[in-house]
């Protein structure tokens, strides 16, 4: 392929020519990110033709290279039977990730077309929170009974080699007759004992494990402490239900960071890609922007109450955005610290007084310093100490308000079961704008004769 020809153009040529024999080899030459990029540049009809030309196995490989939200949009447009055949080829964790991004009606239609056992397993995994062990585990693992022998294991591996070849096999797990986890075998544990040795004789007893409801942070701490290639997941009765791999934890943490960043940036409803439907993308953005219009109108209403003061001292208009913006920055710092401590479990929603005591000290110190700086600028600019005191005092007072509010807002919202990452910032911005305008204009109104003529 010529370097001057974009990958999606070459892909389009193969689709137009219906050249199924060259499609898979060409896609295999692309990196995962380039595969996702090339497929996303095709129109909807071209995508449908592409996946009709690929085998379910090859289509699943291409799906795995795409972000879950993008893959879900693509699969939703397929006939349910075709989608089911492709998704059955995905690993269990990836299958659940893609189904979890779909609307409920589409996912149910696809599950109805899938193999009954695969569908039952997928439904079970979908019941878990995606950020707990049950939602992150894979169901492709090798498990044997205590009374089986090494010869039984080797025979099973040989008979099912076509199925197991795609498994992430690092350990063999051993369970009792009630399917409770009792041991684990590493690869080299199988090499030296006699073929007739029973697994219970050579296994490592009482292996490390995690419960199915273990949180993402608990799992992250587990792998930080234990350098393992996977950890078995057990239910409340100790039965083995899955295995969590360390790369799944890393991906989940990155996804959480991405979603938090998007929510803070005003992208509501999950990830957004420019290949998504136009109205869907517009709606996600407008839901945030519309709310901000209302909040900004509320903040601006304070100025309307003091418009005579502002008209008399027009210089105040220069400092109004400075006071609100600098206070907002201080408050967002406090929000960031609270969000981080909440995610790490270092603070709880009920600890408002403790957070208030910690943040109010920061607010007072930073408020005084920032107030002196900006008040000094106002004084030297106009040569009026009263203007300096109005601006400096307003910034100091507003900084105290914004820092204490910013520290407590995530805790309050978390307690109310409202997403703090989504709501904290716009609420803080509105309050700091209102208070900033109020402090500047009310302080100025109190000493208006001393500011006359500016």
- Token look-up 């079961």 returns 417
CATH 1.25.60.10 intervals, the chain: 7-127
Task: State the average pLDDT over residues 244-267.
Answer: 76
Instruction: Give 229's DSSP letter.
Output: S
Per-residue confidence (pLDDT) for residue 210, from 0 to 100: 94
| 454 band by pLDDT with thresholds 50, 70 and 90 | low
- pTM, to two decimals: 0.61
User: What percentage of the chain exceeds 90 in pLDDT?
Assistant: 30
Instruction: Round the CA-based radius of gyration of the chain to a whole number and report it.
Output: 30
CATH number of 142-245: 3.10.580.10
Percentages helix, strand, coil for the chain (3-state, rounded to 5) are 65, 10, 25
Residue 4 above 80 pLDDT?
no
> Which pair of structure tokens corresponds to residue 360?
């109010």
pLDDT in tens, 27-63: 888 888 888 888 888 888 888 889 989 999 999 988 8
Mapped onto helix, strand or coil, the DSSP state of residue 214 is: coil
Mean pLDDT for all residues in the chain: 85
Residue 215 phi, psi dihedral angles, 5° rounding: -75, 165
pLDDT of residue 328: 87
How far is residue 223's CA from residue 270's CA, in Å, rounded to a whole number? Answer: 28
Given a cut of 90, whether residue 285 has pLDDT beyond it is no
**Res. 2 pLDDT band, cuts 50 70 90:** very low
**What angle, 0 to 180 degrees and rounded to 10, lies between the N-to-C axes of helices 80-87 and 44-53?**
60
Q: Where in the chain is the domain with CATH 1.10.357.20?
A: 278-451
Residue 8 in tokens: 């999606």
Give the relative orientation of helices 316-344 and 352-382 as an angle to the nearest 10 degrees.
160
Quote the CA–CA distance of 102 and 310 in Å, as a whole number: 52
pLDDT digit string (tens) for 88-100?
Answer: 888 888 888 889 8
Mean pLDDT across the stretch 290-298? 75
Q: How many CB atoms lie within 10 A of CB 317?
A: 12
300 pLDDT higher than 80: no
Q: Label residue 359 exposed, middle or buried (CB < 10 Å: 0-12, 13-18, 19+).
A: buried
Using CA atoms, how far apart are residues 202 and 198, in angstroms rounded to an integer? Answer: 7
Q: Where in the chain is the domain with CATH 3.10.580.10?
A: 142-245
Asked if residue 408 has pLDDT above 90, the reply is yes
Pairing of strands 210-211, 204-205: unpaired
What mean pLDDT comes out for the span 226-232?
90
Q: Output the CATH code of domain 7-127.
A: 1.25.60.10
Phi and psi, residue 146, nearest 5°: -65, -30
- Which class would CATH give 278-451? mainly alpha
């Amino acid at each position: 392929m010529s370097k001057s020809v974009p990958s999606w153009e070459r892909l389009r040529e193969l689709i137009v020519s219906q050249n199924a024999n060259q499609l898979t080899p060409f896609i295999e030459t692309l990196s995962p990110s380039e595969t996702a990029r090339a497929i996303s540049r095709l129109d909807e009809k071209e995508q449908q033709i592409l996946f009709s030309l690929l085998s379910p196995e090859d289509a699943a490989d291409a799906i795995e290279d795409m972000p879950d939200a993008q893959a879900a949009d693509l699969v939703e447009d397929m006939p349910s039977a075709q989608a089911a055949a492709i998704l059955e080829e995905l690993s269990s964790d990836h299958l659940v990730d893609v189904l979890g991004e779909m609307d409920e009606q589409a996912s149910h239609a696809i599950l109805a077309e899938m193999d009954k056992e695969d569908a039952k397993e997928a439904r079970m995994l979908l019941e878990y929170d995606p950020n707990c062990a049950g939602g992150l585990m894979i169901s492709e693992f090798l498990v044997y009974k205590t009374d089986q022998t090494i010869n039984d294991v080797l025979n099973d591996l040989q008979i099912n080699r076509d199925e197991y070849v795609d498994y992430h096999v690092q350990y063999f797990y051993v369970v009792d007759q009630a399917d409770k986890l009792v041991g684990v075998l590493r690869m080299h544990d199988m090499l030296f004992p006699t073929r007739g040795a029973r697994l219970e004789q050579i296994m490592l007893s009482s292996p490390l494990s995690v419960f199915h409801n273990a949180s993402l942070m608990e799992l992250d701490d587990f792998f930080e402490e234990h350098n393992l290639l996977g950890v078995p997941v057990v239910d409340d009765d100790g039965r083995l239900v899955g295995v969590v791999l360390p790369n799944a934890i890393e991906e989940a943490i990155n996804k959480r960071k991405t979603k938090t960043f998007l929510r803070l940036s005003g992208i509501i409803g999950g990830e957004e890609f420019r290949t998504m439907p136009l109205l869907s993308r517009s709606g996600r953005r407008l839901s945030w922007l519309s709310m901000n219009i209302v909040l900004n109108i509320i903040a601006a209403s304070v100025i309307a109450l003091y418009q005579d003061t502002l008209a008399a001292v027009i210089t105040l208009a220069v400092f109004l955005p400075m006071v609100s913006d600098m206070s907002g920055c201080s408050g967002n710092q406090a929000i960031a610290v609270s969000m981080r401590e909440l995610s790490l479990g270092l603070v709880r929603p009920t600890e408002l007084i403790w957070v208030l005591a910690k943040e109010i000290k920061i607010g007072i110190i930073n408020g005084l310093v920032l107030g002196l700086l900006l008040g000094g600028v106002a004084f030297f600019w106009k040569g009026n100490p009263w203007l300096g005191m109005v601006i400096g005092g307003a910034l100091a007072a507003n900084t105290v308000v914004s820092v204490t509010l910013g520290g407590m807002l995530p805790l309050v919202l978390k307690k109310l079961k409202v997403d703090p990452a989504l709501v904290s910032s716009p609420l803080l911005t509105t309050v700091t704008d209102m208070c900033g305008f109020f402090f500047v204009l009310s302080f100025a109104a109190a000493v208006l004769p001393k500011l006359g003529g500016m």
